[in-house]
Amino acid sequence: MAHALDDLQILDFSRVLAGPLATMVLGDLGATVVKVERPGTGDDTRAWGPPYDDAGQATYFQSVNRNKESVVLDLRAPAGVQRARELAAGADVVVENFRPGVMAGLGLDEPALRAANPGLVYCSITGFGPGAGAVLPGYDLLVQAVGGLMSITGDPDGAPQKVGVALVDVITGLFAAVGILAALRHRERTGEGQRVEVDLLSALLAALVNQGSAFTLAGAVAGRMGNGHPSIAPYELFAAADGDLVIAVGTDRQFAALCDTVGRPELAGDARFATNDARVAHRAELREALEAALAARPAGDWADALTAVRVPAGRVNDIAGAFALAGELGLEPIVDVPRPDGTSARLTRSPIGLSRTPVSYRAAPPPLPQEAPAAT
C-alpha cells in the first residue's frame, strides 16, 4: 500500500525526544529515516531506564524511534564525517538538534551540505534559538520553568509543577514536522530547499495559546489555578462520594443539564451562575454547591449520568485506564510493530488517520549497530 511520504529520505542526527519524535512522525507516514548514533552508547535515551521492554531496551527510546534504520558514525573522526556527508548528499531532509555551532564545527551545517545538495531541507532544533540563547542548555524541564508553563501548573498554594511528560519536547517535535512538510511543499513548487528552525522556548510560548494571548492582548499574567480554568466554570475536578470527577462545562445548556442531573436545577437560574462570566466570578460558591450535591453518588455513576445528557464528565484514569478506555471506544491505541528477530514491540498507535495513504508500522526501534561502516 502506498504511503504519503514513500519517496522521502531523511537523515536524522537528533537525539532524545523533540527531533526523534519529528522524524518518527515522518517515518510513520512512509519516509525512510536513517538515524545517526554515537559509537558505543547511541542515542542518550537508550540508557534512560527503567523501565525496559522484554528485549531489554529502554522504553523511553522505544517511544520515538520506530520506522528508522540506525547507523553508527563517529563524528569526531574524519571517516565518520565523510560518511555523514555522503548520506546527506542523497537525503531530502536533514534533522539535527545539537547546540548551535556544533554542526558547523563538524562541517555538517546547512551551507556545507547544501553545496552538494541544493534541494536539501535542513531542520535545526535548538533550546533557545541560535542567537543569545545558543549557550543555554535545551532541557525540557528547564524550558517548562523559564517559559512560564510551571508558573500556571499546580495548586495555587503549592509549588510550581512540571507537566507529567516532556511536553515541550513533544510540541517542538510536532512543530518541526509541520515545518519540514511545509518546506518540502515549497520545494515541490520551486525546486528550492530551505532551512527550518524550531526552538523549545518559542514552541512553548506558541503552545500557551489562550494564556499567552491573555498576556499579549490584555496584559493579564496567569497564575496557578490547580485544575481550574481561567475563563470557564465549572471546568475542573470535583469530589464525588468515592473519588474524583472531572466536569468540563463549556455552555449554558450544559450547565443547565448539569444542574438538573445533580438535583439542583435552581442553580441554573441563580444570578451568580446564570452566565459563564458570572460562574467564573463566583466559582468558589458554585464549587461548594456542586460538591454538596455530588457527594450523594460515586464518581462513576455521575460520569455515566452526565454523559447521557451530553455534559462532558469523567473519572480520572491512570495510564492503564486511559489505554483501556481507548480500546473500549474502538480506537485501537496499541500496535504490534515487528522486530528483526520475529517478535514485536507493543507501541502506541499514531493518532493520524489517512484514508488513502495510511500510517504504517514497518519496523520497531532498531538495536544499536556494533560497528561504524567504513566511508566509501
Residues marked active site are found at 169
Spatial contact of 193 and 117, defined as CB atoms under 8 Å apart? yes
Q: What is the separation of C-alpha 151 from the centre of its chain, rounded to a whole number of angstroms?
A: 20
Please tell me the distance from the alpha carbon of residue 87 to that of residue 181, in angstroms, as a whole number: 20
Q: How far apart are the first and last CA of the chain?
A: 33
Spatial contact of 245 and 315, defined as CB atoms under 8 Å apart? yes
Q: Which residues pair with 36 in a beta bridge?
A: 71
What grid cell was written down for 214?
A: 491573555
Please tell me the distance from the alpha carbon of residue 171 to that of residue 140, in angstroms, as a whole number: 11
Please tell me the distance from the alpha carbon of residue 128 to that of residue 123, in angstroms, as a whole number: 15
Closest CA to 30 of 70, 66, 80, 73: 66
The DSSP symbol for 32 reads: E
**SS3 of the chain: helix, strand, coil, percent, to 5:** 40, 15, 45
Torsion region of 293: left, alpha or beta (phi above 0 gives left; psi -120 to 50 gives alpha) = alpha
C-beta pairs of 295-304 under 8 Å, 24+ apart in sequence = 295/239, 295/240, 295/241, 296/241, 296/263, 297/240, 297/241, 298/240, 298/241, 298/242, 298/243, 299/240, 299/241, 299/242, 299/243, 299/244, 299/245, 300/242, 301/240, 302/240, 302/245, 302/261, 302/262, 303/245
Q: Count CA atoms closer than 13 A to 282's CA, side-chain side.
A: 15
Please tell me the distance from the alpha carbon of residue 348 to that of residue 90, in angstroms, as a whole number: 31
Closest CA to 83 of 118, 36, 122, 33: 36
